[in-house]
Chains A and B, each alone.
Chain A
Amino acid sequence: MAHKRWAREMPLHLLVWTGLAFVLVFCYGPMVGIVIAFQRFLPTNGLFNSRWIGFDNFRQIAEMPDTTRVIFNTVYIAVMKMVAGLIAPITMALLLNEIAQKAFKRTVQTIIYLPHFLSWVILSGVLIDILSPNFGIVNDLLGSLGMPHVYFLGDEKWFPFVLVGTDVWKEFGFSTIVFLAALTGINPALYEAAVIDGASRWKQTLYITLPGIVPIMVLMATLSLGNVLNAGFDQVFNLYNPSVYSTGDILDTYVYRMGLQNFQFGVATAVGLFKSAVSFVLISVSYVLAYRFANYRIF
């Protein structure tokens, strides 16, 4: 009897083991590298022969003059991105959902999805040109409307918002698709009942559509919480410059300049470990919160 069950479930076991082996080798294996955070790491000495220095790398980070400011920037930019990155695609999904014409809906969906595939290296080149105060098209438009020129990439006040705006523009098409998928999961009978009760389109959206996608919203928000210390290295590194360090410098770019460039691998790893620890705590908290308040279990 047991033998028969074993034979039946064997393929499933194999499937799980392969996946598990992959995770072990490629996700857990490299974690050995965490030891670098506690060493004065010399590349040529390998992982275990460098000098152990305890928490000196962490101390060095804490003593760097701009660490507090940089952590603030990171959280500030990341939180803005998370909020805007939820609102924009939900709005877009609701709007697209109201469109009856399939062809138009699909076209819009594809167009807003496309920037997701471009790398920041390319986009930054484009953005620097179109946001230029002298020769850029955006400022030409502002000028023709009688507004003063804005120095988007060189002004400390504007730079974080440029980061958020461009990031949302690049990524919201991707999330829109997720929300659109969630929308199709809502039972049409609910809408029919609402129409019979005399609910307008707006009331339907408010009382059926939105509550219907709350679980997905919670899921997306929870997953993005883990990124609260990832404000986007690629984007910032390709767009920033010395005059916006005070508001645009994030943990990753700061560590790149302070440590990695000068071969201080220990410092860079220490920051990575710190970020992972914070993300772990936040994800755990958000998991509990999601369960308590939205009665939604991710795992």
Chain B
Amino acid sequence: MNRKRMASWALVGTLVLSAVLSACTDNKNSSNTSSPSPSSSSTSSPAPSSSASAPAMADGPLGKYDPPITVTTVRMFNSGLEFVKGQDWDNNVYTNGLKDELGIIVKNQWIVDDQQYTNKLNVSMVSGDLPDVFEVTLQQLQLLVEAGALADLTDAYNKYSSDLTKKSFGEGDGIALKAVTFNGKLMAIPNGGTTGREDSQFIWIRKDWLKKLNLQPPATMDDVVNIAKAFATGDPDGNNKKDTFGLNLDYNLFNGWAGLDGFFNGYHAYPYNPGGPTATGLNLMFLNKGGQLDYADIQPEVKTALGKLQELYKAGAINPEFSVMSGEKSAELATAGKVGMTFGQFWNAGWPLNEMKSKDPKVDWGVFPLVSADDQPVLKTSNSITPTRFWVVSKNAKNPEAAIKFLNFYLEKNYGETRDENYHSVKQDGKDIATFGLSPVLGGFSETNQNDFYAVQDAFKSNDPSKLNPTAKGYYDGIVNYRKGDLKAWPNELMFGTEDGSAYGILGTYKKNNEFMTNAYLGAPTATMAKNGPALKDLEVKEFTKIIMGEQPLDTFDTFVDNWKKQGGQQILNEVNEWLKQHQ
């Protein structure tokens, strides 16, 4: 009897204990991952300006805090991230530089991959665990400003920004500055928003396939269509199987890789509304048609181009599986040597095509300018002038000016007098390891890459690389090495190598001729866009996909236009035209 009771008590004891213990560990874990640094949240109540100037005083754009201050932030990385040996997120050229030179200890509250970042940050927002400095999307920025959760950076900017920082804020005709100003107050540091036009598209083509089938690079859109068909039917990989495609595509339809933006541009159409399951349907493109804004994706030119795509699909030039393929899958199709042409942006040479050359020297991707369907010049869709991401500072941050100082430091080390290539990239085992992304706040100037391109070209002409800045010297060396046979350096050649055979060479020509089409609507997503945008995106991607796949005749495009307007589109058009009236 006694023993029995002992046993039951013991059982209860263990159960209760284990419950309590597991509850404890739960708590511990959650407070660890979101650890609100006590220094920043508990002592936040006094006016920030006074507490900033109290003990740790640091004047000037690059003045040092003594004693050092701690600033919290959160980080995201993409799958391609690599560190210099012995370094990591908490110990690298930026954390050390900021600590030694500015007296700022950067503390990463959490680090996640870029796919999860937005969600993780939402959780931090809900639980009130915001770090001092963090990166947000346009929508998050609006939410945070509406909720009054952000620090006003106007004073910090006026007092602490360096000349380089001031210059970078002035880039892009001041559009970026406008995007981060709310009621005359500076609420964020824009990420992007430059006139560099680096989002314009090119045609990437397998030159080895062209040669094999005795074809010339395209001069018109008809050539593009014919090359795509020939790549599908002419057995360019020589395996006697009909297993290749002419034009790469995936379910996004519009994208910097394997998107159709450039294809449509050739027909003077400028649609843009990516269709993947994670797309938001909020970044719509509008054209100014005689003083009225109209939606780019419902113009008659779009129909013409869709007709051509339908023709290509019927001829077997487009992978019939494109509608189930993500960007990663369409990249695999290219790296597996199954597709010979794709529209995309300059970085396609860096991903996903970068290693194809070194794995198989016969593979020869080339980059070509967009071509026109008629004698009119092609205008390229380019909206990089409006920033899409931002750095903001929590209103609880003790030292809001630290964000400005981060930017000062970044620009100084990459563009200033104490410029140091270690803050941009480091060579290790023959590979360039990028380090610039480790800075808590980044900035830049529109024409940096373009100017580096011209500097590299000048160096080749004069045979004198001594005047190059360290970054451009890196590209120069890469190109020289590639031409000597180091195939791993191939991306340098395709991005900076020659006037007519590299992305920046072609981009330079685009810019000289000023052939761009920019979104005529520069405001934030309107109320109806937020409400109906996702459903309208579904409608559009379904209709476009079905038309391309020939499941619907081309003329259903006209029904789509009516439906788009009926299901909220007309309301959106009214709203953006209202915006236009106010901003003329």
Contacts and interface: CB of A to CB of B under 8 A. Distances in A.
A91 interface: no
A257 B277 contact: yes
Nearest to A264: B530
B16 interface: yes
A43 B126 contact: yes
B128 interface: yes
Given A44-B128, A242-B251, A15 B320 contact: no
A22 B15 CA distance: 12
Interface in A1-55: 8, 11, 14-15, 18, 22, 42-46
B535 A128 contact: no
B147 A45 contact: yes
A161 interface: no
Contact of A44 (B144, B539, B541, B549): B144
Interface string B146-173: 1111000000000000000000000000
A159 to B, nearest CB: 10
A262 B538 contact: no
A14 B16 contact: yes
Given A261-B278, A261-B534, A18 B19 contact: yes
A65 interface: yes
A259 B276 CA distance: 15
A151 interface: yes
A243 B551 CA distance: 11
Given A14-B12, A43-B143, A66-B535, A262 B320 contact: no
A15 B65 CA distance: 56
Given A11-B9, A18-B15, A42-B143, A262 B535 contact: no
B275 interface: yes
A237 B278 CA distance: 10
A153 interface: yes
Interface centre among A15, A22, A259, A263 (most CB of B within 10 A): A263
B546 A128 contact: no
Contact of B541 (A134, A242, A258, A264): A242
A236 to B, nearest CB: 10
Interface string B512-542: 0000000000000000001101110011011
Interface centre among B122, B534, B542, B549 (most CB of A within 10 A): B534
A262 B545 contact: no
A242 B542 contact: yes
B139 interface: yes
B282 interface: yes
Nearest to B139: A263
B471 interface: no
B530 A11 contact: no
Nearest to A44: B147
Contacts of A243: 251, 323-324, 542, 545-546, 549
B286 to A, nearest CB: 19
A258 B530 CA distance: 9
Contacts of A246: 542
A64 B533 CA distance: 11
Given A11-B12, A134-B320, A151-B320, A60 B531 contact: yes
A262 to B, nearest CB: 6
A11 B146 CA distance: 53
B283 to A, nearest CB: 12
A73 to B, nearest CB: 14
Contacts of A212: none
B11 interface: yes
A153 B324 CA distance: 7
Chain B contact residues (Cβ within 8 angstroms of A): what range?
35 or more
A133 B541 contact: no
B19 A22 contact: yes
A240 interface: yes
A43 B546 CA distance: 38
A264 B532 CA distance: 12
B16 A18 contact: yes
Contact of A133 (B11, B144, B321, B535): B321
Chain A contact residues (Cβ within 8 angstroms of B): what range?
35 or more
A226 interface: no
A241 interface: yes
Given A14-B12, A42-B146, A151-B320, A128 B329 contact: yes
A240 B323 contact: no
A154 interface: yes
A169 interface: no
B567 interface: yes
A264 to B, nearest CB: 8
A134 B243 contact: yes
Contacts of B146: 42
A240 B325 CA distance: 10
B73 interface: no
B160 to A, nearest CB: 26
Contact of B275 (A237, A242, A259, A264): A242
Contacts of A245: 538, 542
B319 interface: yes
Given A42-B143, A262-B280, A241 B324 contact: yes
Contact of A15 (B12, B144, B147, B545): B12
B8 interface: yes
Contacts of A242: 251, 275-277, 323, 538, 541-542, 545
Contacts of B16: 14, 18
A263 B280 CA distance: 10
A132 interface: yes
Nearest to B320: A133
Interface string B281-294: 01000000000000
Contacts of A22: 19
Nearest to B7: A11
B125 A128 contact: no
A132 B322 CA distance: 11
B186 to A, nearest CB: 19
A263 B122 contact: yes
Contact of A64 (B251, B535, B545): B535
A134 B321 contact: yes
A60 B530 CA distance: 12
Given A44-B125, A65-B567, A128-B329, A262 B19 contact: no
Interface in A242-299: 242-243, 245-246, 253, 257-259, 261-264
A237 B149 CA distance: 33
Nearest to A240: B277
Interface centre among B11, B320, B538, B545 (most CB of A within 10 A): B538
A43 B324 contact: no
A262 B546 contact: no
Contacts of B531: 60
B538 to A, nearest CB: 6
Interface in A133-161: 133-134, 151, 153-154
6 contacts: A11-B11, A14-B12, A44-B125, A154-B324, A241-B251, A262-B282
Given A11-B9, A151-B320, A263-B122, 8 more contacts: A43-B125, A64-B535, A154-B320, A243-B251, A243-B545, A246-B542, A262-B282, A263-B140
Interface of A: 8, 11, 14-15, 18, 22, 42-46, 60, 64-66, 128, 132-134, 151, 153-154, 237, 240-243, 245-246, 253, 257-259, 261-264
Closest 9 CB pairs of A and B: A44-B147, A43-B125, A243-B323, A44-B149, A242-B541, A43-B126, A241-B324, A11-B12, A11-B8
